[in-house]
Amino acid sequence: MSEDLILKVKNLNVELGREQVLEGLDFDLREKEILVILGPNGAGKSVLLRTLLGLLPFKGEISWRKNTHIGYVPEEFTVSKNLPLSVKEFFEFKQVGPSEIFQSFKWVGIEASLKFLEKRLGTLSSGQLRRTLIAWVLADTPDVILLDEPMVGIDIHGRETIYDSLVRLWQEKNQAIILVSHEIGEVCKKADKILALNKRKLFYGLPQNVITPQNLAKIYGASIYL
């Protein structure tokens, strides 16, 4: 594996319940690279992220660079209102100090006060909870961040704030990002590479080569105008 290569995936196949979910997938990820994964519902995007994390059985090759620290934001994250866990206690699982906690909240557009940190996770709004989860993942500065539709429940302004922060982190700390998203416009402009899939690889390469009306029609099965 070359020095700047973080992840290499070769001939990846995933079968769940006798259904072929991913087939013959090949791609790689390098330092400071933003890879955006596109595809219709049911294309296997979330399955791909969970497979990369070692959570699902597979055939083929998934090779992470040794000692790679991975952060993961799942598509769904719900907390019971009765869970006796505060925001501060949630961050204590990360073993990070106050400065890292407050900085991570700034990255997601929240000026966190001590009062906010004492709130129970289950009492946060869906947007606050989503931002808190992203801040939690960012707090200990992972080498690679896997984000599965991270902006669910976050308004347009908040999305811009978080995306801009992710790009700054990527630039400052040599982080790599794998982002699953349905947002074709602004998100893809920030990408270094696009992987479009529908159970198998449809397109893979530079955004300007992948994001064309003709290709989008093949990806989503209908004409999409940019």
Confidence at 143, pLDDT banded by 50, 70, 90: very high
> In sequence order, what are the residues at sequence separation of 6 or more whose Cβ sits closer than 8 angstroms to the Cβ of residue 15?
21, 57, 59
Q: Is residue 225 pLDDT above 60, yes or no?
A: no
Percent of the chain with pLDDT strictly greater than 90: 56
Nearest Cα to Cα of residue 78 among 32, 21, 122, 137: 122
How confident is the model at residue 50, as a pLDDT? 96
Q: Domain segments of the chain: what residues?
A: 1-69+144-153+179-226
CATH 3.40.50.1820 holds for 1-69+144-153+179-226: no
Nearest Cα to Cα of residue 71 among 146, 172, 134: 146
Distance, CA of 226 to CA of 223 (rounded, Å): 10
Tell me the torsion sign for CA atoms 101, 103, 104, 106: positive
pTM for this prediction: 0.88
Distance, CA of 126 to CA of 129 (rounded, Å): 5
Distance, CA of 167 to CA of 182 (rounded, Å): 18
How confident is the model at residue 226, as a pLDDT? 52
In tens, the pLDDT along 11-39 reads 999 999 889 999 999 999 998 899 999 99
In tens, the pLDDT along 168-183 reads 777 777 789 999 987 7
Distance, CA of 144 to CA of 176 (rounded, Å): 5
Average pLDDT rounded to a whole number, residues 68-89: 92
Confidence at 224, pLDDT banded by 50, 70, 90: low
